[in-house]
Amino acid sequence: MFKGTKMSKMPNTMKILLCEDITKLGWLGDVVEVNVGYARNYLLPQGLAKVANDASIRAIAEEKAKRAEQRINDGRRLENAAKKVEGAEAVVAAKANEQGHLFGSVTERQIAANLRAQGFEVADEIVQLPEHIKEVGTHAVTLKFADNVTATVNVVVVAEQQDGDPETDAG
């Protein structure tokens, strides 16, 4: 540093007003304190936040009320969907050898498609598999509708019938 000059220490954090819901940070209309660099380099240029002041807080209050009501309605809808699907059974047929090992695996997409075919409201992303299912049998699978809304379904994997398949007849 230069001799005889005193650098004023800039604050490391600043208060911002969120203009969007941001995962792990807050909801629209929340005033949060973040690192200056995060605010200046990402949140402010992307339009995700504004510098918190009285005018910006008043301007966003109405939108915040609408979003809060929407979150409550979405939460109720997700809870109802979870209650309906709780304990349901998805039967998936897959090619397997005699020992019950699948040639491929059962994926989240297949499970969600099977549940949708039964009339349940299930998106592919909510099916939580720690790893793809690679064995014939019954497997408990968690559906995560939201952070605090989950349901468990049974996935029954059965060996696909290969009658009349030229590969099986040739062996």
* pLDDT on residue 162: 65
Report the relative pairing of strands 133-135 and 101-106 from DSSP bridges. antiparallel
Query: What would be the CATH architecture of the domain defined by 86-170?
Result: Roll (3.10)
Report pLDDT digits (tens) over 97-122.
999 899 989 999 999 999 999 999 89
Q: What would the two tokens of residue 101 be? A: 């090992």
* pLDDT on residue 116: 94
CA pseudo-torsion sign 8, 14, 15, 18:
positive
Q: 3-state DSSP call for residue 118? A: coil
Helix (H) / strand (E) containing 32:
strand 31-35
Distance separating alpha carbons of residues 23 and 113, to the nearest angstrom: 27
* pLDDT on residue 169: 43
Annotated domain spans of the chain: 13-77, 86-170
CB 133 within 8 A of CB 102: yes
Q: What is the DSSP string of 131-152?
A: S-EEESEEEEEEEEEETTEEEE
Q: Which amino acid is at 137?
A: G
* pLDDT on residue 5: 55
Distance separating alpha carbons of residues 45 and 109, to the nearest angstrom: 36
CATH of domain 13-77: 3.40.5.10
* pLDDT on residue 63: 79
> What is the residue-level pLDDT of the chain in tens, covering all 171 positions?
455 555 556 679 999 999 888 989 998 888 999 999 999 999 999 999 999 888 888 878 887 888 889 989 988 999 998 999 998 999 999 999 999 899 989 999 999 999 999 999 899 999 999 888 999 999 999 999 988 899 999 999 999 876 545 444 444
* pLDDT on residue 27: 86
